[in-house]
């Protein structure tokens, strides 16, 4: 977790209103933040163009308060990589590209990953399609909506609201990719 602070500063350089210190209070806050991930086996499913070396795409949405947005984004990116590398037998995949936009409710973005992310993607698929909702790690829920695996950290809303949220998130990510 020692990398969170430098990454948070990189995300929001010289912005005094953002928390960037890697202290216990900030880490606890970020660990309690809800994050929704929608996984895609082909980036072309959401991107209007081809991106070299990108074999997978993951849309993310972080619910966050204004002064924690950069810290929550840094925590999410680092924790996502750490968790999924561990889950896929420590096969080192690479993030090819990240695009994000901060908004009133948090941060929405897209992570593009290389072909070595296949093991993490396949593990996610097996969790998501095994049941309607499965909990495989503390505070992480897996489900399937529209043939795309979805994982949620700190799930706090009903499945009926989930479909509308997922549709809006996909629209926002496609708009983000076009800009």
pLDDT tens profile 120-163: 998 887 776 554 444 444 345 545 455 677 777 776 655 556 66
pLDDT tens profile 16-55: 555 556 667 777 777 778 888 888 988 888 887 788 899 9
Phi, psi torsion values for 47, nearest 5 degrees: -100, 140
Each domain of the chain, given as residue ranges in start order, spans: 4-178
pTM: 0.79
């Amino acid at each position: 977790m020692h990398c969170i602070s430098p990454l948070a500063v990189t995300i929001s350089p010289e912005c005094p209103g953002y928390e960037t210190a890697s202290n216990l209070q900030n880490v606890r806050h970020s660990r309690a933040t809800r994050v929704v991930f929608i996984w895609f086996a082909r980036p072309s499913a959401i991107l209007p163009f081809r991106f070299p070396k990108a074999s997978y795409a993951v849309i993310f949405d972080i619910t966050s308060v204004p002064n924690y947005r950069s810290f929550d984004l840094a925590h999410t990116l680092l924790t996502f990589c750490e968790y999924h590398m561990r889950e896929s037998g420590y096969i080192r995949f690479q993030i090819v590209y990240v695009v994000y936009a901060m908004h009133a409710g948090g941060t929405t973005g897209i992570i593009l990953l290389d072909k070595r992310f296949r093991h993490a993607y396949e593990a996610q698929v097996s969790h998501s399609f095994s049941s309607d909702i499965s909990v495989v790690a503390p505070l992480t829920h897996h489900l399937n909506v529209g043939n795309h695996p979805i994982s949620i950290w700190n799930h706090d809303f009903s499945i009926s609201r989930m479909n509308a949220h997922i549709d809006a998130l996909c629209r926002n990510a496609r708009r983000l990719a076009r800009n």
